[in-house]
Amino acid sequence: MKFQGSQNYVATPDLMLAVNAAITLQRPLLIKGEPGTGKTMLAEEVAQALNMPLLQWHIKSTTKAQQGLYEYDAVSRLRDSQLGDADSATRVQDIRNYIVQGVLWRAFTADQPVALLIDEIDKADIEFPNDLLRELDRMEFYCYETRELIRAKHRPLVFITSNNEKELPDAFLRRCFFHFIKFPDADTMRQIIGVHFPTLKGELISAAMKTFYDVRGLPGLKKKPSTSELLDWLKLLVAEDIPVEALQSGDDKIAIPPLVGALLKNEQDVSLFEKLVFMNQRNR
Ligand SMILES: Nc1ncnc2c1ncn2[C@@H]1O[C@H](COP(=O)(O)OP(=O)(O)O)[C@@H](O)[C@H]1O
Ligand SMILES: [Mg+2]
Protein backbone atom coordinates (compact mmCIF):
# COMPACT_ATOMS: atom_id res chain seq x y z
CA MET A 1 0.00 0.00 0.00
CA LYS A 2 1.66 3.18 -1.16
CA PHE A 3 0.31 6.61 -2.03
CA GLN A 4 1.83 8.24 -5.08
CA GLY A 5 -0.35 11.26 -5.64
CA SER A 6 -3.32 11.30 -7.98
CA GLN A 7 -4.59 12.87 -11.14
CA ASN A 8 -6.70 15.43 -9.33
CA TYR A 9 -4.37 16.18 -6.47
CA VAL A 10 -0.84 17.50 -6.51
CA ALA A 11 1.09 15.90 -3.68
CA THR A 12 4.62 17.13 -3.00
CA PRO A 13 7.23 14.42 -2.27
CA ASP A 14 7.33 15.29 1.43
CA LEU A 15 3.56 14.96 1.66
CA MET A 16 3.63 11.54 -0.02
CA LEU A 17 6.40 10.51 2.35
CA ALA A 18 4.27 11.55 5.32
CA VAL A 19 1.24 9.62 4.09
CA ASN A 20 3.31 6.49 3.58
CA ALA A 21 5.03 6.90 6.94
CA ALA A 22 1.65 7.00 8.66
CA ILE A 23 0.59 3.89 6.75
CA THR A 24 3.78 2.07 7.77
CA LEU A 25 3.58 3.13 11.41
CA GLN A 26 -0.16 2.45 11.48
CA ARG A 27 -0.63 5.73 13.26
CA PRO A 28 -3.05 8.54 12.54
CA LEU A 29 -1.71 11.19 10.18
CA LEU A 30 -2.16 14.63 11.66
CA ILE A 31 -2.22 17.26 8.94
CA LYS A 32 -2.01 20.94 9.67
CA GLY A 33 -1.85 23.89 7.33
CA GLU A 34 -3.65 27.07 6.37
CA PRO A 35 -7.30 26.64 5.39
CA GLY A 36 -7.59 25.77 1.71
CA THR A 37 -4.27 23.99 1.34
CA GLY A 38 -5.83 20.65 0.51
CA LYS A 39 -6.01 18.86 3.86
CA THR A 40 -9.52 17.50 3.51
CA MET A 41 -8.98 16.69 -0.13
CA LEU A 42 -5.83 14.72 0.73
CA ALA A 43 -7.85 12.20 2.75
CA GLU A 44 -10.37 11.86 -0.08
CA GLU A 45 -7.65 11.34 -2.66
CA VAL A 46 -5.60 8.88 -0.63
CA ALA A 47 -8.70 6.81 0.12
CA GLN A 48 -9.58 6.75 -3.54
CA ALA A 49 -6.04 5.95 -4.67
CA LEU A 50 -5.78 3.07 -2.20
CA ASN A 51 -9.28 1.89 -3.03
CA MET A 52 -10.64 2.30 0.47
CA PRO A 53 -14.06 3.64 1.41
CA LEU A 54 -13.73 6.94 3.30
CA LEU A 55 -15.72 7.60 6.45
CA GLN A 56 -15.82 11.29 7.26
CA TRP A 57 -16.37 12.91 10.60
CA HIS A 58 -16.62 16.70 10.41
CA ILE A 59 -16.01 18.19 13.82
CA LYS A 60 -17.95 21.16 15.18
CA SER A 61 -17.56 23.10 18.41
CA THR A 62 -20.32 20.99 19.94
CA THR A 63 -19.04 17.58 18.79
CA LYS A 64 -18.33 15.11 21.59
CA ALA A 65 -15.98 12.14 21.33
CA GLN A 66 -18.76 9.76 22.36
CA GLN A 67 -20.72 10.65 19.21
CA GLY A 68 -17.95 9.06 17.16
CA LEU A 69 -18.36 5.81 19.09
CA TYR A 70 -22.11 5.44 19.55
CA GLU A 71 -25.14 7.11 21.06
CA TYR A 72 -27.96 5.55 23.01
CA ASP A 73 -31.31 6.74 21.70
CA ALA A 74 -33.31 6.71 24.92
CA VAL A 75 -36.13 8.83 23.51
CA SER A 76 -37.03 6.30 20.79
CA ARG A 77 -36.93 3.52 23.30
CA LEU A 78 -39.25 5.35 25.63
CA ARG A 79 -41.64 6.09 22.78
CA ASP A 80 -41.63 2.45 21.64
CA SER A 81 -42.31 1.30 25.18
CA GLN A 82 -45.38 3.54 25.32
CA LEU A 83 -46.81 2.63 21.92
CA GLY A 84 -48.07 -0.74 23.02
CA ASP A 85 -48.20 -2.50 19.62
CA ALA A 86 -46.56 -5.87 19.17
CA ASP A 87 -43.74 -4.63 16.94
CA SER A 88 -42.65 -1.95 19.36
CA ALA A 89 -42.93 -4.33 22.27
CA THR A 90 -40.47 -6.78 20.70
CA ARG A 91 -38.16 -3.95 19.64
CA VAL A 92 -37.99 -2.60 23.16
CA GLN A 93 -36.72 -5.96 24.42
CA ASP A 94 -33.40 -5.52 22.66
CA ILE A 95 -31.38 -2.49 23.63
CA ARG A 96 -29.23 -2.89 20.52
CA ASN A 97 -32.10 -1.45 18.51
CA TYR A 98 -31.44 1.90 20.15
CA ILE A 99 -27.70 2.07 19.78
CA VAL A 100 -26.79 4.52 17.02
CA GLN A 101 -23.39 3.64 15.66
CA GLY A 102 -20.84 6.44 15.23
CA VAL A 103 -18.12 6.68 12.57
CA LEU A 104 -15.53 4.87 14.67
CA TRP A 105 -17.89 1.98 15.28
CA ARG A 106 -18.59 1.74 11.56
CA ALA A 107 -14.89 2.03 10.71
CA PHE A 108 -13.95 -0.67 13.23
CA THR A 109 -16.60 -3.13 12.12
CA ALA A 110 -16.27 -2.64 8.36
CA ASP A 111 -15.47 -5.79 6.43
CA GLN A 112 -12.63 -4.17 4.53
CA PRO A 113 -9.97 -1.70 5.64
CA VAL A 114 -11.34 1.84 5.48
CA ALA A 115 -9.96 5.35 5.69
CA LEU A 116 -11.31 7.56 8.44
CA LEU A 117 -11.18 11.34 8.32
CA ILE A 118 -11.54 13.34 11.51
CA ASP A 119 -11.79 16.77 9.95
CA GLU A 120 -10.91 20.00 11.76
CA ILE A 121 -10.28 18.46 15.16
CA ASP A 122 -9.30 21.88 16.51
CA LYS A 123 -12.96 22.99 16.30
CA ALA A 124 -13.94 20.80 19.26
CA ASP A 125 -13.24 21.59 22.90
CA ILE A 126 -9.87 20.71 24.38
CA GLU A 127 -11.09 17.47 25.97
CA PHE A 128 -12.08 16.01 22.62
CA PRO A 129 -8.67 14.74 21.43
CA ASN A 130 -7.90 13.28 24.85
CA ASP A 131 -11.22 11.49 24.92
CA LEU A 132 -10.31 9.65 21.72
CA LEU A 133 -6.75 8.69 22.69
CA ARG A 134 -7.46 5.18 23.79
CA GLU A 135 -9.87 4.43 20.98
CA LEU A 136 -7.41 5.53 18.31
CA ASP A 137 -4.47 3.86 20.02
CA ARG A 138 -5.96 0.48 20.89
CA MET A 139 -8.59 0.58 18.15
CA GLU A 140 -11.25 -0.67 20.50
CA PHE A 141 -13.90 0.62 22.86
CA TYR A 142 -16.56 -0.77 25.14
CA CYS A 143 -20.29 -0.34 24.66
CA TYR A 144 -21.73 -0.39 28.19
CA GLU A 145 -25.36 -0.64 27.13
CA THR A 146 -24.87 -3.87 25.17
CA ARG A 147 -21.84 -5.02 27.16
CA GLU A 148 -19.75 -5.66 24.09
CA LEU A 149 -16.24 -4.77 23.13
CA ILE A 150 -16.04 -3.17 19.69
CA ARG A 151 -12.62 -3.97 18.29
CA ALA A 152 -11.31 -3.02 14.85
CA LYS A 153 -11.36 -5.93 12.41
CA HIS A 154 -8.90 -3.96 10.30
CA ARG A 155 -6.96 -0.94 11.51
CA PRO A 156 -8.43 2.05 9.67
CA LEU A 157 -6.15 4.55 8.02
CA VAL A 158 -6.84 7.67 10.08
CA PHE A 159 -6.47 11.26 8.88
CA ILE A 160 -6.84 14.09 11.34
CA THR A 161 -6.81 17.68 10.11
CA SER A 162 -6.35 20.88 12.06
CA ASN A 163 -6.38 24.54 11.10
CA ASN A 164 -4.37 25.30 14.20
CA GLU A 165 -7.11 27.20 16.01
CA LYS A 166 -6.25 25.32 19.19
CA GLU A 167 -3.18 23.48 20.47
CA LEU A 168 -3.54 19.72 20.70
CA PRO A 169 -2.51 17.87 23.88
CA ASP A 170 0.97 16.31 24.00
CA ALA A 171 -0.35 12.83 24.74
CA PHE A 172 -2.42 13.05 21.59
CA LEU A 173 0.45 14.35 19.44
CA ARG A 174 2.70 11.53 20.61
CA ARG A 175 0.39 9.03 18.93
CA CYS A 176 0.23 10.71 15.54
CA PHE A 177 2.51 11.16 12.60
CA PHE A 178 2.59 14.86 11.88
CA HIS A 179 2.78 16.77 8.64
CA PHE A 180 2.41 20.47 7.97
CA ILE A 181 1.29 21.33 4.44
CA LYS A 182 3.45 24.30 3.57
CA PHE A 183 1.89 26.95 1.42
CA PRO A 184 2.63 25.82 -2.18
CA ASP A 185 5.56 27.48 -3.91
CA ALA A 186 5.06 28.87 -7.42
CA ASP A 187 5.97 25.59 -9.17
CA THR A 188 3.58 23.51 -7.11
CA MET A 189 0.88 26.13 -7.50
CA ARG A 190 1.29 26.03 -11.25
CA GLN A 191 0.77 22.27 -11.14
CA ILE A 192 -2.31 22.63 -8.96
CA ILE A 193 -3.76 25.18 -11.37
CA GLY A 194 -2.95 22.82 -14.23
CA VAL A 195 -4.96 20.07 -12.57
CA HIS A 196 -7.99 22.32 -12.24
CA PHE A 197 -7.70 24.33 -15.47
CA PRO A 198 -5.81 22.18 -17.96
CA THR A 199 -6.55 24.47 -20.90
CA LEU A 200 -5.88 27.85 -19.33
CA LYS A 201 -3.34 30.03 -21.15
CA GLY A 202 0.08 30.28 -19.55
CA GLU A 203 0.05 34.05 -19.85
CA LEU A 204 -3.11 34.42 -17.77
CA ILE A 205 -1.83 31.94 -15.18
CA SER A 206 1.44 33.84 -14.80
CA ALA A 207 -0.30 37.20 -14.47
CA ALA A 208 -2.85 35.84 -12.00
CA MET A 209 -0.16 34.11 -9.95
CA LYS A 210 1.90 37.28 -9.76
CA THR A 211 -1.08 39.28 -8.49
CA PHE A 212 -1.98 36.51 -6.09
CA TYR A 213 1.47 36.22 -4.52
CA ASP A 214 1.69 40.03 -4.36
CA VAL A 215 -1.58 40.16 -2.45
CA ARG A 216 -0.42 37.35 -0.15
CA GLY A 217 2.81 39.20 0.47
CA LEU A 218 1.05 42.33 1.76
CA PRO A 219 2.27 42.90 5.29
CA GLY A 220 -0.50 43.00 7.89
CA LEU A 221 -3.21 41.07 6.05
CA LYS A 222 -5.79 39.59 8.44
CA LYS A 223 -6.55 36.65 6.17
CA LYS A 224 -4.16 35.66 3.42
CA PRO A 225 -5.87 34.17 0.39
CA SER A 226 -5.06 30.48 -0.09
CA THR A 227 -5.00 27.92 -2.87
CA SER A 228 -8.76 27.44 -2.97
CA GLU A 229 -9.26 31.21 -3.23
CA LEU A 230 -6.83 31.47 -6.10
CA LEU A 231 -8.73 28.69 -7.88
CA ASP A 232 -12.06 30.46 -7.27
CA TRP A 233 -10.60 33.68 -8.58
CA LEU A 234 -9.24 32.02 -11.71
CA LYS A 235 -12.64 30.45 -12.33
CA LEU A 236 -14.21 33.90 -12.20
CA LEU A 237 -11.56 35.45 -14.43
CA VAL A 238 -12.33 32.79 -17.00
CA ALA A 239 -16.10 33.07 -16.62
CA GLU A 240 -16.04 36.85 -16.91
CA ASP A 241 -13.56 36.69 -19.76
CA ILE A 242 -11.19 39.14 -18.06
CA PRO A 243 -8.29 39.96 -20.40
CA VAL A 244 -4.71 39.39 -19.26
CA GLU A 245 -4.03 43.11 -19.58
CA ALA A 246 -6.44 43.81 -16.73
CA LEU A 247 -4.07 41.88 -14.45
CA GLN A 248 -0.75 43.02 -15.80
CA SER A 249 0.25 46.34 -14.34
CA GLY A 250 3.14 47.28 -16.60
CA ASP A 251 6.08 48.85 -14.74
CA ASP A 252 5.95 48.44 -11.01
CA LYS A 253 2.64 50.01 -10.27
CA ILE A 254 0.04 48.16 -8.28
CA ALA A 255 -3.63 48.14 -9.14
CA ILE A 256 -6.66 46.65 -7.46
CA PRO A 257 -7.21 43.35 -9.23
CA PRO A 258 -10.63 42.67 -10.75
CA LEU A 259 -13.01 40.56 -8.63
CA VAL A 260 -10.78 41.05 -5.62
CA GLY A 261 -13.60 39.76 -3.40
CA ALA A 262 -12.54 36.22 -4.30
CA LEU A 263 -9.15 36.84 -2.72
CA LEU A 264 -9.68 39.26 0.15
CA LYS A 265 -12.41 38.39 2.58
CA ASN A 266 -12.66 41.33 4.91
CA GLU A 267 -12.94 45.10 4.64
CA GLN A 268 -9.73 45.84 6.57
CA ASP A 269 -7.71 43.85 4.07
CA VAL A 270 -9.37 45.52 1.11
CA SER A 271 -8.78 48.99 2.53
CA LEU A 272 -5.17 48.07 3.35
CA PHE A 273 -4.76 47.14 -0.27
CA GLU A 274 -6.42 50.34 -1.48
CA LYS A 275 -4.15 52.45 0.71
CA LEU A 276 -1.14 50.75 -0.77
CA VAL A 277 -2.35 51.37 -4.29
CA PHE A 278 -3.03 55.01 -3.42
CA MET A 279 0.42 55.55 -1.93
CA ASN A 280 1.98 53.81 -4.87
CA GLN A 281 0.23 56.11 -7.33
CA ARG A 282 1.27 59.25 -5.41
CA ASN A 283 4.89 58.18 -5.40
CA ARG A 284 5.09 57.80 -9.11
N1 LIG B 1 -2.56 19.93 -3.77
C2 LIG B 1 -3.74 20.23 -4.35
N3 LIG B 1 -4.06 19.67 -5.54
C4 LIG B 1 -5.22 19.96 -6.15
N5 LIG B 1 -6.14 20.80 -5.64
C6 LIG B 1 -5.90 21.39 -4.46
C7 LIG B 1 -4.69 21.13 -3.75
N8 LIG B 1 -4.70 21.85 -2.61
C9 LIG B 1 -5.86 22.52 -2.58
N10 LIG B 1 -6.60 22.26 -3.70
C11 LIG B 1 -7.91 22.84 -4.00
O12 LIG B 1 -8.31 23.63 -2.92
C13 LIG B 1 -9.60 23.22 -2.46
C14 LIG B 1 -9.64 23.30 -0.94
O15 LIG B 1 -8.99 22.21 -0.39
P16 LIG B 1 -9.43 21.60 1.01
O17 LIG B 1 -8.94 20.20 1.03
O18 LIG B 1 -10.87 21.83 1.26
O19 LIG B 1 -8.57 22.50 2.00
P20 LIG B 1 -8.47 22.44 3.57
O21 LIG B 1 -9.18 21.20 4.02
O22 LIG B 1 -7.00 22.41 3.83
O23 LIG B 1 -9.11 23.70 4.07
C24 LIG B 1 -9.80 21.82 -2.97
O25 LIG B 1 -11.14 21.57 -3.22
C26 LIG B 1 -9.00 21.82 -4.24
O27 LIG B 1 -9.82 22.31 -5.29
MG1 LIG C 1 -10.85 21.12 5.19
Q: How confident is the model at residue 84 (pLDDT cuts 50, 70, 90)?
A: confident
pLDDT at 10: 95
Q: Is the pLDDT of residue 274 over 90?
A: no
Question: Ligand 1 mean position to 42 CA, how many Å?
Answer: 8
Q: Is the pLDDT of residue 1 over 80?
A: no
User: 234: Cβ below 6 Å to ligand 1?
Assistant: no
Q: Taking CA 224 as the corner, what is the angle to CA 222 and CA 228, rounded to the nearest 5 degrees?
A: 140
User: 231: Cβ below 6 Å to ligand 1?
Assistant: yes
How far apart, in Å, do the first and last CA atoms of the chain sit?
Answer: 59
Q: Which of 164, 66, 70, 67 is nearest to 121 (CA)?
A: 164
> Which pLDDT tens digit goes with each residue over 238-247?
999 988 888 8
Q: Which of 122, 118, 28 is nearest to 69 (CA)?
A: 118
Q: Which ligand lies nearest to the CA atom of residue 123 in the structure? A: 2
Rounded to whole angstroms, the Cα distance separating 11 from 161 reads: 16
> Which pLDDT tens digit goes with each residue over 130-142?
999 999 999 999 9
Q: How confident is the model at residue 156 (pLDDT cuts 50, 70, 90)?
A: very high
Q: Is the pLDDT of residue 30 over 90?
A: yes
Domains of the chain: residue spans and CATH: 13-73+101-180 (3.40.50.300), 186-282 (no CATH)
Question: Ligand 2 mean position to 75 CA, how many Å?
Answer: 34
pLDDT at 250: 58
Q: 3-state class of 141 per DSSP?
A: strand
